Structure formats: C-alpha cells, structure tokens
Chain A
C-alpha cells in the first residue's frame, strides 16, 4: 500500500537515554513518523540499549534526574491515566509502519551483550558507520 520511501522520507533516532520519559518521547516520535509513512530507524546505544534488555517491561519506571522535580507527579499521572508502556507504543508502530530497531555494536561489546539478551523488537547489531550511512539524507534525532 505504501510506496518505497525516498531518502527524504527517513527519520533516524539515536536513542542514548534509558529513562522512561525519554523512551516514551522516542517511541511516540517513532510512531508518529511511522504513521506518516517515514522509514524509521532507531539506533540503540548506551543507556537506551540497556533499557531494551529482555524483561524491559518488568523494570520500574524512571524519570531523568534532570527532571527530578517532576518525577513524582509524572509517575502518578502515568499510573492514573494508564499511559501505555513505551515498548507497547513501539510494537504498535512496528506493526503499522516501517520501523527498525538496531543495537550499537560498541555498547553490546562494552556490556557483554548478545542479540538474544535483548527484546525481540531489536533486529540486528550494527556499527555507527552503517547507521550514519543509512541515516544520510533524512532527519536524525538524538534522544
């Protein structure tokens, strides 16, 4: 149904942060981009990658310390309003659009991780060189 995207129709997200607030931001942007028929690549590195270890949904939610003043209010609001888990938001986006999640080779080596240690939404381990090459010509966000 969707035509093959041109290079201008790409959104790449470097997901460096592993706190719930930023994981939500990244996965909601990925959903919006997928809905608007962009080709989306999420490159997981450092704490973003650590958040995608198997059992991600069982981890307690955390807010960035930069926003510690809002942490309690944010947690309460998310619980009260039954905000979907960021991993479910991402799965929905992957179901409806073109979204790929790739893991940074450096972080994998650094923490001794293998692809099977990660949530199955992650399709491959890749290097920064191929990420930069793939993202050329589209929009890139660092979260």
Chain B
C-alpha cells in the first residue's frame, strides 16, 4: 500500500513538472513575446536623465519570423492642464535579415509622436533585428546603437535595454505580461534578473 501511495505521489510530482515545463515551452513556430505587455514603471530607469516612460502597452505578434508590434506610450507626467499625451505606433520587421528589402521594416505612427494620424515613418536607420533565442531579440541601428529585449526565465517579464555605440546604456524599461490592458502589471513575486 505504501509503495502504491509513494508511486502515485511521485507520478503526480513528475506530471506536474512536465506540465510546468510544457507550459513554458513555446510551441513550434511561435515566440515567447507574443501577447500583451504593460510597463512596470517601478523598475524602469532612464539612465540618461530624460523623461521616463510612464505608460507603455505593447502587443506582439510573430508570424513566419516577422515580428509585429503595436505600442502605446506616454512619458513623464501630465501637463499643467492635467493631460498626458499618448503616442501609438505599429511596426514590423523580419528577424535575422540584413537585406532591407527582405527585412521589410515598417513603422506607422498611428497617433501622437508629433505626427498627423497614420503617418508612415522612415526606417532607413534600422540595420537588423536578430532573434538570439526564445527569450531575446536585439536590434541595431546604422548609427551604431540599438536595443535588446531579454525575457526572464519565468516568461512573465522582460527588460528592454537601450544602448549606444560607445557602450553606454541609457534605458532599462521593464514590462510584465498581461492578459489585456488594465490588468495588474506587477508580478506577484520578485523574479531573478537573468
């Protein structure tokens, strides 16, 4: 009887571990970044001293190695009239493609960004976006700088790191996974930072 109970216990433990692993593994052809992400302003630091990002809601899609992003942002605090300007844009690019025609980078200012609504933005400065692993992609600009997004092993939050060609880092912007805009964006428990 004891052996049976022990066997059942071990089996349950094993199945739980397998289920947990399966949950964290991206299905073939998919990408861990797919979904919705809300900024965590408490962890976000603008090292350059400029206005911090205080609002950011991102929705990622990845299909056939093309990453599409819809993002709404706001910086600093509300103005004297109590209004905080929001900006929204949509962009996309094919991973691992240095040929600008094949990479087909697009960038549309939906509203804000000091542009009329639905203004296509220039993408000439984009060099490449590399998918490094399931939790990391890095983009480079022709002026020498760039950024990467690196997701924590718990797949619940990621850090955006902006860097310059001289190796200085100007931004750590943390985002947490949410099911929809307005959901709590602070993870329940602290996670590892790598």
The answer to whether A and B belong to the same complex is no
